[in-house]
A and B are shown apart, each in its own frame.
Chain A
């Protein structure tokens, strides 16, 4: 599917990796030309709506659908009584139980807002109205609303997340200066503008699914496994995504329901979650709490860190929001101990939300570091630099690249940190207290194999084809830039095809790993295609370049020529015409040579081939330092962020304009996390009562100050083929503690539980 129209660019840096090219698909988006999953106009469409539980725990005894079935336009009602004949699909690790039935509308109720029935009708309005006529009888069971509930208990230790070296307890006890604090973060949600949902259609045993996806291949695999059809029979199409932030990486129950309904009815079906359903149909960031103890010498050298954390999970799966993820690697620390528990509660299983683990972890350790700085009477910047980690004390490995020191010093310089007065409440403007704070962030470099196809067309255009997706990060643009650079052509001579599971395999757009992974494959394929073209141009008897005597060719300014102006120069289309070729097509992947078809399939549809940050010789991470200024009304307790300067080490930037936009987006989300976002749970029935965008607050433009972002990175060729490290998630990590620290500096009040709402300050 071609979705990119040729376009003109004015930027001199167009067509090279590292150029500040504007978003390739930007025009389509702002003019409404980009078609999203719920907008595909299909004939004979039926509409499905989910019915969700209103109790937190128990069993569905019966579903009385008689009235709903009799309502106008209703085609079908699905309930736990319907055996859809589905099988459980593989998890992210590619593990799959044998022949285990899958019930997307289960009888067992594990949380309030769980899908237990669905209504399909001729119109969405009819389906919604009929859904309200469904009468469900439950047998209620006791529930645990949150991990603060006394019935929740201590939860279970996640052994794989326990870390330690040295003797942390002893070193802590011996340390002359000690601090201790408990830090907590509430349930937070993705609230992407585009809700979850899909349009689905069967042709025989072939299924097409239009669904926003951060991973077209992985989600296609789930559909094939649920329905017991070959992977090749599934086509999942996702060219545009209205925000995912981690929530759109897996196929979910509502997808199975819609696909089943469509098959049974023999009609295409559209299912869109309502906004409240987007709060319970998949999990947001789990609530966390963590106790941190730090021991240091009088002059601020860290001696020990002891960390004990916990996060909520569901009653049916363990999802740790790892509060100890950033704790061990931010500072030089010889004695360390960390443990993380999950506490089952009656809530949907939490999921990945921008910067999972690292984000709440940084809130803990970066708040604690400032508490230590104040206990020592030391500038928090100085304390951080003093304890700079020269290598990764957890893995013992050297950093691949780590420019956190530069981030701290250059960020401080740009912010004007040296003009700060240390005492809390020492900066004010009338009734407004002003405070400055620092928060560091980190995110690991993950690597995954990917595949890409390059087609050189007779008309001189070059296509790059991949099943990777673009949810706004800029995949379209950087792929075009990479290919343009290889062929020495303007970026608008490149066509990019993305977001379709039938296209070559790709890493997930998650864990900040897509750009680094897919560009490796694209660069490899483009180079191979260019080599193929060079071979033909030098050897084919029809080629005007054959007689130049050159042994290679140059590609620049849109022309192919022999080096040092020997002989003619041709455009790609002239060369293709001369060669009599309609196209040259090259497929390459970055798996080891000789990977079998089975291994390839596994690579694109599971996480088994993903490489963690310390699996090689080095420890590889992105880094950042945020400097925040807040203004707090001393009477009202209202906090406004008035300035942020953030410096990043993300290695080489493939397109600084788009990277800066991602960083800013992360920072803005961090402002929301620090000041506004909190799922409010009614303890009586486990319901999140602010499950809509009027009540679950995210920052508006008026809440977003001037944000200055600085890149201090250098290319890291250990981290990726083209030298970049992940940029998508690190931006949010460390923002909340920077703001909390600034609030402390402004007011003298240390808020250890997010969000910092006004009642905590008055």
Chain B
């Protein structure tokens, strides 16, 4: 690991100021940063420790929704009774993520900004070609081992999956990332790779996430996060779905539905076409299955990840049927 200087920020302003400097990086729980520093992927010259900043760790709820401070721990948010009641999918996405030890260290802000698990991204010495790490250098994953790579939102430059779980649930309920000076919806916060895979989010140099707000909704209250993977725990999703559903008064016609896919796309993948296909419809196994298949519109496989195209709609369907009370 390269030597770096360490700055313990005493205020959010100081942290932002310091983060303006090229080569500086914020440090929260460190579970992504240290990991990638050891791999030689992130090589900060200055690490700005924000973990001591006060006022950024809170979780508050009211009728309008929830505000979660950027420094709140994954574990604390997952276990928060109010979050569990108003946003079950959010709570579940966190308790199904990583391990208990990591959830106790890692923060919500850091969680959004975790990096892809593309093996080629993480081994620079052996695979120098990676547009995300080193723009213009190529993409080692194309033609390589692609079992975990994305099928949606990919480009010729990069096919890396966005691996996180929480952001998938947040995107379903129109959550907003508070950057102090401005706010950006979670959906807009994450970028598809296009020709600039090195740009993953809307975060600008010198900006810091201070909080995430999630507006309350009936769909959020009746929601679930379904994560499918080979190992029962401590693994990223092969495919996942965050789904929220609100029925009309008749209890069977869809008034509002939110569908976001994880583990299969280069960013949390809001499947608005699935949502539109179901709004106003009476839920049944058949309508759900047909609509879920729309989620794969535009999907492209790269060999070993082909199964995701088959798997993901089934995950979406099961999640919808679950919140619809049909399984």
Q: Which residues of A are in contact with B by a Cβ distance under 8 Å? A: 54, 72, 112, 125, 128-129, 132, 276, 430-431, 633, 635-638, 640, 675-676, 680-682, 684-685, 687, 689-690, 694-695, 697, 699-703, 755, 757-759, 762
What 0/1 pattern do residues 294 to 315 of B give for CB contact below 8 A with A?
0000000000001100110011
19 A-B pairs within 8 Å (CB atoms) are namely A72-B3, A128-B1, A129-B2, A132-B125, A276-B123, A430-B327, A635-B318, A636-B311, A636-B315, A676-B230, A681-B145, A687-B127, A689-B123, A690-B145, A697-B231, A700-B232, A702-B233, A759-B306, A762-B314
Flag whether B143 is at the interface (Cβ < 8 A): yes
Known: A635-B314, A689-B120. A54 touches B125 (CB 8 A): yes
Flag whether B117 is at the interface (Cβ < 8 A): yes
Closest to A72 in B: B3
Q: How far is the CA of A640 from the CA of B231 in the complex (A)?
A: 8
Chain B residues, CB < 8 A from A676: 230-231
Find residues 223-250 in chain B having any chain A CB closer than 8 Å to their own CB.
228-235, 238
Q: How far is the CA of A758 from the CA of B125 in the complex (A)?
A: 31
Chain B residues, CB < 8 A from A701: 233
14 additional A-B pairs beyond A125-B1, A635-B318, A702-B234, beta carbons within 8 Å, are A72-B3, A129-B3, A430-B327, A636-B314, A687-B123, A687-B127, A690-B119, A695-B117, A695-B119, A697-B235, A700-B232, A755-B230, A758-B311, A762-B310
Chain A residues, CB < 8 A from B228: 633, 636, 638, 758
The A contact surface, by secondary structure, is loop
The B contact surface, by secondary structure, is loop
Quick check: A700 and B238 within 8 Å, CB to CB?
no
Quick check: B314 and A689 within 8 Å, CB to CB?
no
Flag whether B63 is at the interface (Cβ < 8 A): no
Closest to B124 in A: A132
Q: Which of B40, B123, B145, B235 contacts A132 (CB 8 A)?
A: B40
Closest CB of chain A to B148's CB: distance in Å? 8
Known: A129-B1, A690-B119, A762-B310. A684 touches B144 (CB 8 A): yes
Known: A125-B1, A640-B232, A758-B228. A680 touches B311 (CB 8 A): no
Chain A residues, CB < 8 A from B40: 132
Known: A132-B125, A694-B117, A695-B117. A703 touches B231 (CB 8 A): yes
Chain B residues, CB < 8 A from A682: 144-145
Q: How far is the CA of A430 from the CA of B321 in the complex (A)?
A: 14
Q: Which of A125, A128, A680, A755 contacts B145 (CB 8 A)?
A: A680
Q: A125, A694, A702 — which one has the most chain B CB atoms within 10 A of its CB?
A: A694
Q: How far is the CA of A112 from the CA of B123 in the complex (A)?
A: 13
Closest to B143 in A: A684
Closest CB of chain A to B132's CB: distance in Å? 16
Number of interface residues of B (CB under 8 A): 33
Quick check: A699 and B125 within 8 Å, CB to CB?
no
Closest CB of chain B to A63's CB: distance in Å? 14
Quick check: A689 and B310 within 8 Å, CB to CB?
no
Closest CB of chain A to B316's CB: distance in Å? 11
Quick check: B230 and A689 within 8 Å, CB to CB?
no
Closest to B315 in A: A636
Q: How far is the CA of A473 from the CA of B194 in the complex (A)?
A: 54
Q: Which of A112, A129, A675, A699 contacts B126 (CB 8 A)?
A: A112
Find residues 1-16 in chain B having any chain A CB closer than 8 Å to their own CB.
1-3
Flag whether B84 is at the interface (Cβ < 8 A): no
Chain B residues, CB < 8 A from A757: 230
Known: A638-B230, A702-B233. A431 touches B311 (CB 8 A): no
The A-B contact count (CB < 8 A) is 84
Flag whether B147 is at the interface (Cβ < 8 A): yes
Find residues 189-231 in chain B having any chain A CB closer than 8 Å to their own CB.
228-231
Q: How far is the CA of A125 from the CA of B311 in the complex (A)?
A: 43
Closest to B128 in A: A54
Quick check: B143 and A700 within 8 Å, CB to CB?
no
Closest CB of chain A to B126's CB: distance in Å? 5
Chain B residues, CB < 8 A from A759: 306-307, 311
Closest CB of chain B to A188's CB: distance in Å? 15
Closest CB of chain B to A698's CB: distance in Å? 9
Closest to B305 in A: A759
Q: How far is the CA of A431 from the CA of B322 in the complex (A)?
A: 12
Closest CB of chain A to B149's CB: distance in Å? 12
Quick check: B234 and A675 within 8 Å, CB to CB?
no
Q: How far is the CA of A430 from the CA of B326 in the complex (A)?
A: 12
Q: How far is the CA of A431 from the CA of B1 in the complex (A)?
A: 48
Closest CB of chain B to A68's CB: distance in Å? 13
Q: How far is the CA of A431 from the CA of B144 in the complex (A)?
A: 34
Q: Which of B117, B123, B233 contacts A703 (CB 8 A)?
A: B233
Closest to B235 in A: A697
Closest to B289 in A: A635
Closest CB of chain A to B103's CB: distance in Å? 14
Closest to B313 in A: A635
Quick check: B230 and A758 within 8 Å, CB to CB?
yes
Q: Which of B119, B120, B230 contacts A697 (CB 8 A)?
A: B230
Closest to B99 in A: A700
Q: How far is the CA of A681 from the CA of B123 in the complex (A)?
A: 14
Closest CB of chain A to B134's CB: distance in Å? 14
Quick check: A762 and B307 within 8 Å, CB to CB?
yes
Q: Which of B147, B233, B311 contacts A700 (CB 8 A)?
A: B233
Q: How far is the CA of A112 from the CA of B27 in the complex (A)?
A: 34
Chain A residues, CB < 8 A from B127: 687
Closest to A682 in B: B144
What 0/1 pattern do residues 126 to 143 of B give for CB contact below 8 A with A?
110000000000000001
Chain A residues, CB < 8 A from B310: 762
Chain B residues, CB < 8 A from A72: 3
Chain A residues, CB < 8 A from B232: 640, 700, 702-703
Chain B residues, CB < 8 A from A762: 307, 310-311, 314
Known: A640-B232, A762-B307. A689 touches B144 (CB 8 A): yes
Closest to B229 in A: A638
Closest CB of chain A to B141's CB: distance in Å? 9
Quick check: A700 and B117 within 8 Å, CB to CB?
no
Chain A residues, CB < 8 A from B327: 430-431
Chain A residues, CB < 8 A from B145: 680-682, 689-690
Chain B residues, CB < 8 A from A640: 232
Q: How far is the CA of A758 from the CA of B237 in the complex (A)?
A: 12
Chain B residues, CB < 8 A from A125: 1, 3
Chain B residues, CB < 8 A from A697: 230-231, 235
Q: How far is the CA of A666 from the CA of B228 in the complex (A)?
A: 26
What 0/1 pattern do residues 1 to 37 of B give for CB contact below 8 A with A?
1110000000000000000000000000000000000
Q: How far is the CA of A638 from the CA of B306 in the complex (A)?
A: 16
Q: How far is the CA of A762 from the CA of B313 in the complex (A)?
A: 12
Chain A residues, CB < 8 A from B317: 635
Chain A residues, CB < 8 A from B230: 638, 675-676, 697, 755, 757-758
Q: How far is the CA of A112 from the CA of B230 in the complex (A)?
A: 28
Q: How far is the CA of A575 from the CA of B81 in the complex (A)?
A: 68
3 tightest A-B CB contacts, nearest first: A759-B307, A702-B232, A702-B233
